């Protein structure tokens, strides 16, 4: 993209033109007048007006993708996309922010009021989905032909509420009033089969072939979202699939009076795209998850081959035209599906189909936890996708023949590397299948990629050394700095110009200003304004009152034991206990507000217990007449992108405290650093690279290193020993065990205490004292506001590496071997 890229002004790119377009939408789309319109009417009219400015660009982009035959595109396959609200991003991408604000003001309408009316799409859960959304934004901004594929969840993950401090999951009805940003395309629906059986037959050329005869089918209906690049004329596509029955309603059965049975097939089919990550502790839940995964990749591959490539395309050239990026293991069933399409439906020989398939996929692994690497039982796969299981068996058979040949018949190595595990049950290891089938396998931070090679997929890294590479994650600066932090964005632009929005390395030009007292003062003013904005937001949304004069200490991420929210909580409990006991003089404690934000998976009992404990501790701390003067805890329910965009710019301290060697990367850590928060963290995931870039003096490091943690675990970790040796830790845990935070009932949080004392898989107790020491350094540093501001400015200046634009350049150069294709007028 260059500054001379023409802006397509359709409709008229002016305030008068915007007013006319807006009133037209209000009248003819909403069927109302300015005087009678509700806030929702006005929002929908605004969304459709902004959408109209992008549609002509979108159509040109789609036409370019369809007609291009000499460039490789990217198809991103992801089970989730955490998009966030669309209005502001569309206004920014189309350069309409000022025009829209002035046009609405002429009509007596507040743009801020309409912003607040937008409902965030419920299409993702956490970092994985937000990363996918950032990557799509960068691909469009960098002029890369790309399409995202996923599922249009009717209810998304869930809406989190708290009852007596405990998480309660409610449906996220984000589609109740429709979505003005999506375009349904039922005429392009795809039929997807499940179950049934396979059979062999003799083809016309005399060869024996296999085919799948599904037992039942559903339809995949595409819903398209526009993904606009930043003011460059390109609008890529995110295509999400919803499921519906091939025969939604049986009139004959209905007329007999069995109304439930008449719509049973519709209900059964629509369950597939009902919710993100259905609870899978039951066999039915596991089956639904596999249905979801196969459904969306089958729709997506069929769509790309039939719609994007079209009739007559020579599929021998498929690798020249597309690379399918597998975002974690959820879409890996796409590998045998492409083989089935090529061999069974297109008549390819097995060897040529496999050669094509191995060039069309790349795999990103997002975990270091063995239990997070998906495994599907052979029984379930065989029952739901019998032909795919046959294909997987053959892939595995031929792969293991290679392993045995190269290893001199090492049978133990073959067993370890087999895609099909034999114990404790016969099952398909999807990460292994992805690794064998993909042209590249990447981790998402330097440490993660190293551990992936050295531990998680060690045998495969030795067998395929050329496949394993690193691409550190990134975030889009358009949403998470330019939109989320307008005060800081304005300060940066005033200092170095506006080119940083698409070239985040330019933030380095801010480094000298860290030593400029006037710039530091203005930086503090921006942070104070962001805190004031957060105060109003949380008061209106949650009824939560926070003091903007306190240090804002924030830990927001998915609730999982390895992320160690309970370590942060033990710090809070320890402060509470030490103040109450008189060990700490409140006058000598830096006032702080600790903010948590997290959802726990519905079936993850321990994570939900930790949420309950956080809320019960908060209730006790916040009402204590002494402690609450210097320490408060807030836990706004239903943390999402909308909350993040207000909370992150206000934060002073970013909590990134996972056990070293357990977090793949993290992207929240990047968002906080780019918005001027200092990090307290372990050497884990992308923390390692953040610390290296911002400098040890501007990062609060604590805890065991990955080799140290591994050595202690291997020697036999005894968490009880740390409890016995550390009186501060002992008093904090004893306070929880005593019932202090549960109305005197010792049994309520006993599972958490017992787990920490006897198991503590993620070594909370081992890192506790080091963490408290680091927090003492935090307090000392925060006492010098000017020095803290200098460190915060340097965090911003030195974090440009963490742009998702840089991540995309790495993927383009190292994995995809695709190139930007600039849009023309």
pLDDT digits 0-9 by tens, 42-92: 999 999 999 999 999 999 999 988 877 778 999 999 999 999 999 999 999
Q: Is the pLDDT of residue 425 over 50?
A: yes
Residue 233: per-residue pLDDT: 93
Structure tokens at 191: 């039929």
With 80 as the cut, is the pLDDT of residue 633 above it? Answer: yes
CA distance 706 to 479: 33
Mean pLDDT of the region 357-376: 94
261 confidence band (pLDDT: 50, 70, 90)? low
Q: Is 36 considered catalytic here?
A: no
Rg value, the chain, Cα: 27
**H-state helical runs in 560-667:** 565-581, 605-623, 641-647
Which has the minimum average pLDDT: 15-29, 276-290, 359-373, 409-423?
Answer: 276-290
Which of these, 635, 583, 650, lies nearest to 792 by C-alpha position? 650
In this model, does residue 7 exceed pLDDT 50?
no
Sequence-ordered list of residues with C-beta below 8 angstroms from that of 566, at least 6 positions apart, any chain: 610, 613, 752, 756, 764
Q: How far apart are CA 649 and CA 526, in angstroms?
A: 9
Is 467 among the catalytic positions? no
The tokens of 108 are what? Answer: 């007596």
pLDDT averaged over every residue in the chain: 94
Residues 376, 381, 384, 388: is their CA dihedral positive or negative? positive
Annotation says 207 is catalytic: no
Please choose, from the candidates 726, 764, 757, the residue with its C-alpha nearest in 3D space to the C-alpha of residue 566.
Answer: 764
The answer on pLDDT for 281 being more than 90 is: no
What does each C-alpha distance from 191 to 458, 514, 643, 659, 691 come to in angstroms? 39, 59, 38, 45, 50
Query: Which residue among 478, 557, 568, 571 is the active-site one?
Result: 557
pLDDT in tens, 183-210: 999 999 999 999 999 999 998 888 889 9
Burial class (CB in 10 A: 0-12, 13-18, 19+), 67: exposed
What token pair was written down for 753? 């205490």
Give 519-554 as a DSSP string.
HHHHHHHHHHHHHHHHHHHHHHHH-----TTSEEEE
C-alpha–C-alpha distance, residues 21 and 180, integer Å: 16
Here the tokens at position 62 are 């789609």
List the catalytic residue out of 234, 366, 522, 578: 366
Specify the pLDDT at position 156: 85
558 catalytically annotated: yes
For residue 68, the model assigns a pLDDT of: 78
- Which of 172, 165, 151, 130 has the alpha carbon at shortest distance from 558? 130
Q: Is residue 320 predicted with pLDDT exceeding 90?
A: yes
**Which has more pLDDT, 718 or 9?**
718
The vertex-332 CA angle with 329 and 333, nearest 5°, equals 135
Token output for 124: 């993702």
Q: How far apart are CA 792 and CA 571, in angstroms?
A: 23
**Does 599 qualify as catalytic in the annotation?**
no
d(CA 478, CA 172): 26
Written in H, E and C, the secondary structure of 386-428 is HHHHHHHHHHHHHHHHHHHHHHCCCHHHHHHHCCEECCCCCEE
What are the beta bridge partners of residue 326? 77, 363
What average pLDDT does the segment 345-363 reach? 97
In sequence order, the β-bridge partners of residue 210 are 200
Quick one: tokens of 672?
């906080």
- CA dist 779 and 527 (Å) reads 18
pLDDT at position 9: 45
* Contact residues for 115 (Cβ-Cβ < 8 A; gap 6+): 85, 87, 88
| pLDDT for 729 | 98
Three-class DSSP category at 308: helix
Confidence class for position 2, pLDDT limits 50, 70, 90: very low
42, 239, 558, 560: the catalytic one is: 558
492-522 per-position pLDDT tens digit: 999 999 999 999 999 999 999 999 999 999 9
CA dist., res. 444 & res. 695, Å (int):
21
Q: Could you say which of 671, 691, 790, 798 is catalytic?
A: 671
Give tens-digit pLDDT for 635-675. 999 999 999 999 999 999 999 999 999 999 999 999 999 99
pLDDT value, residue 762: 98
The answer to whether the beta carbons of residues 84 and 475 sit under 8 Å apart is no
Per mean pLDDT, which of 49-58, 122-131, 368-377 is the most reliable?
Answer: 49-58
Kindly tell me if the per-residue pLDDT of 620 is higher than 50: yes
Give pLDDT, residue 371: 81
> DSSP string covering 773-817, please?
HHHHHHHHHHTSHHHHHHHHHHHHHT-GGGBHHHHHHHHIIIII-
Query: Which class for 270: exposed (0-12), middle (13-18), buried (19 or more C-beta within 10 A)?
Result: middle
pLDDT at position 256: 61
Residue 6 pLDDT more than 50? Answer: no
Q: What is the pLDDT of residue 29?
A: 92
**In this predicted model, which residue has the larger pLDDT, 235 or 127?**
235
Spatial CA neighbour of 814 closest among 418, 466, 481, 343: 466
The answer, yes or no, to whether residue 387 has pLDDT greater than 90, is: yes
406 is catalytic: no
Predicted confidence band at 787 (pLDDT cuts at 50, 70, 90)? very high
Q: Which of 453, 563, 568, 806 is catalytic?
A: 563
Tell me how far apart the alpha carbons of residues 297 and 569 are, in angstroms, rounded to a whole number: 41
Mark out the alpha helices in 697-763 (DSSP H runs): 706-716, 719-725, 727-737, 750-758
Give 477-496 pLDDT, tens digit per residue: 999 999 999 999 999 999 99
Write phi, then psi, for 683 (nearest 5 degrees). Answer: -80, 80
- Identified catalytic residue from 367, 667, 679, 682: 667
Structure tokens at 39: 């806030």
Query: What is the pLDDT, as a whole number, of residue 266?
Result: 67
DSSP 8-state class, residue 14: S
């Amino acid at each position: 993209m260059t500054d001379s890229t023409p802006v397509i002004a359709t409709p008229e790119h002016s305030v008068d033109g915007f007013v006319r377009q807006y009133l037209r939408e209000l009248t003819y789309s909403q069927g109302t007048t300015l005087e009678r319109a509700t806030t929702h009417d006005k929002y929908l009219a605004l969304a459709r007006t902004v959408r109209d400015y992008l549609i002509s660009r979108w159509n040109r982009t789609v036409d370019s993708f369809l007609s291009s035959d000499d460039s490789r595109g990217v198809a991103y396959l992801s089970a989730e996309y955490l998009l966030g609200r669309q209005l502001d991003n569309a206004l920014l991408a189309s350069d309409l922010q000022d025009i829209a604000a002035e046009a609405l003001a002429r009509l007596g309408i507040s743009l801020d009021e309409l912003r607040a009316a937008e409902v965030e799409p419920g299409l993702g859960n956490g970092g994985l989905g937000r990363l996918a959304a950032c990557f799509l934004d960068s691909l469009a901004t960098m002029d890369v032909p790309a399409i995202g594929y996923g599922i249009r969840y009717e209810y998304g993950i869930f809406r989190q509420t708290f009852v007596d401090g405990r998480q309660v999951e409610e449906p996220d009805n984000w589609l109740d009033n429709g979505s003005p940003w999506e375009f349904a395309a039922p005429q392009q629906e795809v039929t997807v089969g499940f179950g049934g059986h396979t059979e062999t037959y003799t083809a016309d050329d005399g060869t024996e072939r296999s085919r799948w005869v599904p037992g039942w089918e559903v339809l995949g209906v595409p819903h398209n979202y526009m993904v606009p690049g930043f003011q460059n004329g390109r609008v890529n596509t995110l295509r999400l699939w919803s499921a519906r029955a091939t025969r939604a309603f049986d009139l004959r059965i209905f007329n007999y009076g069995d109304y439930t049975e008449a719509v049973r097939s519709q209900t059964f089919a629509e369950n597939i795209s009902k919710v993100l990550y259905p609870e899978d502790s039951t066999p039915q839940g596991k089956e639904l998850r596999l249905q979801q995964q196969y459904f969306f990749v089958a729709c997506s591959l069929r769509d790309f081959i039939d719609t994007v490539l079209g009739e007559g395309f020579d599929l021998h050239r498929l690798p020249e035209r597309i690379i399918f990026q597998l975002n974690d293991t959820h879409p890996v069933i796409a590998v045998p599906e492409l083989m089935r399409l090529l061999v069974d439906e297109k008549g390819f020989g097995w060897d040529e189909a496999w050669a094509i398939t191995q060039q069309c996929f790349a795999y990103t692994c997002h975990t270091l936890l063995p239990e997070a690497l998906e495994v599907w039982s052979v029984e379930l796969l065989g029952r739901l996708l019998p032909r795919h299981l046959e294909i997987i068996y053959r892939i595995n058979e031929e792969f293991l023949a290679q392993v045995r040949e190269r290893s001199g018949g090492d049978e133990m190595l073959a067993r370890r590397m087999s895609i099909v595990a034999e114990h404790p049950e016969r099952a398909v290891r999807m990460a292994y299948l992805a690794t064998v089938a993909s042209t590249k396998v990447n981790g998402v931070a330097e440490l993660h990629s190293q551990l992936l090679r050295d531990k998680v997929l060690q045998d495969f890294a030795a067998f395929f050394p050329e496949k394993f590479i690193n691409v550190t994650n990134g975030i889009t600066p358009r949403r998470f700095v330019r939109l989320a932090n307008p005060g800081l964005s304005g300060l940066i632009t005033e200092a170095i110009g506006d080119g940083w929005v698409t070239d985040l390395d330019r933030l380095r030009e801010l480094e000298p200003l860290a030593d400029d007292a006037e710039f530091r003062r203005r930086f503090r003013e921006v942070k104070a304004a962001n805190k004031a904005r957060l105060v109003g937001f949380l008061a209106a949304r949650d009824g939560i009152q926070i003091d903007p004069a306190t240090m804002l200490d924030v830990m927001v991420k998915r609730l999982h034991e390895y992320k160690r929210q309970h370590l942060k909580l033990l710090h809070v409990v320890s402060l509470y206990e030490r103040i109450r006991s008189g060990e700490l003089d409140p006058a000598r404690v830096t006032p702080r507000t600790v903010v948590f934000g997290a959802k726990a998976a519905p079936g993850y009992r321990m994570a939900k217990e930790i949420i309950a404990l956080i809320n019960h501790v908060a209730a006790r701390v916040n009402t204590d007449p002494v402690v609450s003067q210097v320490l408060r805890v807030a836990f706004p329910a239903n943390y999402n992108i909308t909350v993040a965009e207000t909370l992150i710019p206000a934060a002073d301290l970013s909590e990134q405290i996972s056990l070293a060697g357990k977090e793949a990367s993290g992207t929240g850590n990047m968002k906080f650093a780019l918005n001027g928060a200092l990090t307290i963290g372990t050497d884990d995931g992308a923390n390692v690279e953040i610390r290296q870039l911002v400098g040890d003096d501007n990062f609060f490091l604590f805890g065991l290193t990955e080799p140290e943690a591994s050595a202690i675990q291997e020697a036999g970790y005894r968490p009880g020993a740390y409890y016995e040796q550390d009186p501060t830790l002992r008093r904090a845990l004893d306070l929880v065990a005593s019932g202090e935070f549960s109305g005197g009932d010792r049994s309520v949080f006993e599972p958490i205490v017992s787990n920490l004392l006897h198991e503590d898989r993620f070594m909370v107790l081992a890192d506790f004292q080091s963490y408290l020491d680091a927090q003492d350094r935090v307090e000392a540093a925060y006492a010098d506001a000017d020095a803290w501001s200098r460190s915060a400015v340097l965090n911003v200046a030195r974090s440009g590496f963490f742009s998702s634009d840089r991540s995309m350049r790495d993927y383009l150069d190292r994995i995809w071997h695709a190139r930007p294709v600039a849009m023309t007028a």
